[in-house]
Amino acid sequence: MTLVQEQIEDIVTGVSISPKPEGLSAILQPGCAAAIWKRRPLSRFQTWIDGLEPDNLPKARITIPPGNVGDAVEKICDVCGTPDCAERNMLIDDASALAAIFNDILPTSHLQLRFDVVTTNACRKFHVDVVTARLVCTYRGSGTQYGLSTDGPEPIHVNTVPTGSAMLLRGKLWPEKPNSGLLHRSPPIEGTGETRLLLVLDPVTEPECSTAEVIVY
């Protein structure tokens, strides 16, 4: 079975959903605004990450070559006090693998990696990011919401990326025009007590500095 046959068109035009990582390469196809690698993490991993104290979740920003993501995430986990265990290694390996997949699809000298811990309605307005492309994976909490709107600020139908799935989105700087009208936002969670952990990878063509300094915030 070919990759194309395995892809499932979402009800949102221009969003390709696949159960395999190779499906993320659909982002290169004309008219594809976003591609999702739909997956469900192992329950032991999900239980572990859901049970961590928010203060011990990795939270940082760093610009590094894609091949250095594993080492960088390990360092971030050390700084943030993320307990060293098999599940932590899964997280490190997964972030590293997502960076490698991203770099295979859209080769770049450096990536900006962010681990965001979110407890508010951050980025609650539907928008398109000012980047060429962005990979987002919500490891804990509700996933990114998305929908199509070509003539208004809000999509009528809103979909949610499953927790643990990876979404590769085109941004405003993607060369193909016009934009598809696909918008996304962080889910509104303020007041719910929910804590989200988000991995964000952006390609960086001209890194501001070549040092692998981890900014923990």
**Binding residues vs Fe ion (CB under 5 A):** 129
One DSSP character per residue, 105-138 reads: HS--SEEEEEEEEE-S-TT-S-B--SSSEEEEEE
Shorter beta-carbon distance to Fe ion: residue 7 or 144: 144
In angstroms, what is the minimal distance from the CB of 122 to Fe ion?
10
- The Cα 206–Cα 55 span in angstroms is 32
Contact 38, 16 (CB under 8 A): no
Shorter beta-carbon distance to Fe ion: residue 10 or 129: 129
In angstroms, what is the minimal distance from the CB of 102 to Fe ion?
16
Q: Count CB neighbours of 89 within 10 A.
A: 13
Max Cα distance, the chain (Å) = 49
- The Cα 119–Cα 116 span in angstroms is 10
Shorter beta-carbon distance to Fe ion: residue 22 or 129: 129
**148 Cβ partners below 8 Å, 6+ apart?**
12, 13, 14, 155, 157, 180, 181, 182, 183
Contact 165, 36 (CB under 8 A): yes
Task: Point out the residue whose Cβ comes nearest to Fe ion.
Answer: 129
On the CB side of 80, how many CA atoms lie within 13 Å of its CA?
25
In angstroms, what is the minimal distance from the CB of 120 to Fe ion?
15
In angstroms, what is the minimal distance from the CB of 6 to Fe ion?
27
In angstroms, what is the minimal distance from the CB of 33 to Fe ion?
13
Shorter beta-carbon distance to Fe ion: residue 34 or 64: 34
In angstroms, what is the minimal distance from the CB of 103 to Fe ion?
20
DSSP 184: E
Shorter beta-carbon distance to Fe ion: residue 46 or 179: 179
| Token representation of residue 113 | 């990696």
Shorter beta-carbon distance to Fe ion: residue 39 or 127: 127
